Amino acid sequence: MGEERIDVDSPLWDQKTFYGRFRHFAWMSNPLSGLNSSDTLTQAKTLVDQYRDGAEPAGTTRDEVVGAMALVRSAFHPDTGELQNPFGRMSFQMPGGMMITGAMLQFYKTVPQVVFWQWFNQSFNALVNYTNRNANSATSTTQLGVAYTSATFAALGAAIGLKGLLEKKAASRPMLQRFVPFAAVASANIVNIPLMRQVELMEGITVFDESGDVACRSRVCAVSGISQVVTSRVVMAAPGMFCLPFVMKAMEKKPWFKSRPAIHGPFQVLGVGCFLLFMVPFACALFPQNVEISSEYLRTKDPEAYSQLQEKYKSNIPATLVYNKGL
């Protein structure tokens, strides 16, 4: 091709900087990528595989390779290489989150509304969390069922409990009720993600050496990685769910808007979409996806994992290790 060849297995931007990670996740979470068919995605993966082996079709351009890489990153799991469920992909985060969050913000006044939309949201979250898990940790169907049920009931309990609590104060501070969806979503994420990835917490997350070989399993790294994912998910939802209640309160004072209740829901959905278009890559970029740690860190923080390193490497323990925290 006459150009410097691309390392298709590495991000195009420096992942040690926030800006580099932001550009990477904006590239791979582009909602337009979700419009491609399975055949198109498979063709993109084939082109990337061919390019990796130096066997791409004659005349293949750099832009074609980069475009194929974007589709592969958006649709195939980084650990297994399998095509992900379309509704669990990062490219569906903006449209999926836009519709569900907008509905939660619009329908928060009655218990049935809260129950339905919190259940729907947690079902979506469970799918996303499972789809983007660290796939090196196998999870049984029973464990998934228990995790999903526990997380869903935790979300419903948080939402209904907060709604009841804030209703008592609604007479003097009616705006508080508008924040029930955000409080419930934040609370549920704290429960949902650890439960859906409980195997990693119990058995440890897979840690690799610099050659890509399995070095050990670490529960400490699992706690750290999952905590970062929880933080990212809460940050992702916060601006839209926190700011839109104030926007809606201001808009409802306008006669033309107040007299057209049919547009309130679509307005909130589009508003959430505007926030998420920026917040999905922003939140994902807060922490590196592939986390580098030192073996010294494991020696002091996770002796069990360090003993695995000693058994495998004897006196030649690698100084630097890495694990995929998931998304």
Report helix angle 62-75 to 18-28, nearest 10: 80
Q: How many other β-carbons are positioned within 10 Å of the β-carbon of residue 83?
A: 15
Give the Cα separation of 255 and 28 in Å (integer).
Answer: 41
pLDDT in tens, the chain (327 residues): 456 889 988 889 999 999 999 999 998 888 888 888 889 999 999 999 999 998 899 888 899 999 999 999 888 887 777 888 888 887 888 888 888 887 877 776 777 887 888 788 878 877 877 777 656 666 667 777 777 787 778 777 777 777 677 666 655 566 666 777 777 777 777 877 787 778 888 889 999 998 889 999 999 999 999 999 999 988 988 888 888 888 888 888 888 888 888 888 888 888 888 888 899 899 999 999 889 999 999 999 999 999 999 999 888 999 999 998 887
Hey, which bits of 73-230 come out as E strands? Answer: 205-208, 214-218
Residue 4 three-state SS: coil
pLDDT tens-digit profile of 221-255? 999 999 999 999 889 888 888 888 888 888 888 88
SS (H, E, C) 6-27: CCCCCCCCCCCCHHHHHHHHHH
Where in the chain are the domains?
18-75, 91-199+221-284
Beta bridge partners of 207: 216
Angle at 278 between CA 263 and CA 288, to 5 degrees: 145
Tokens 């979470």 correspond to 29
Determine contact, residues 288/21, Cβ cutoff 8 Å: yes
Strand order in the sheet with 290-294: 214-218, 205-208, 320-324, 290-294
171-180 contacts at long range (C-beta below 8 A, 24 or more positions apart) = 175/245, 175/246, 175/249, 177/108, 177/109, 178/105, 178/108, 178/245, 178/248, 178/249, 179/241, 179/242, 179/245, 180/108, 180/114
With a threshold of 0.85, does the pTM exceed it?
A: no
- Residue 214 has φ and ψ, to the nearest 5°, of -65, 125
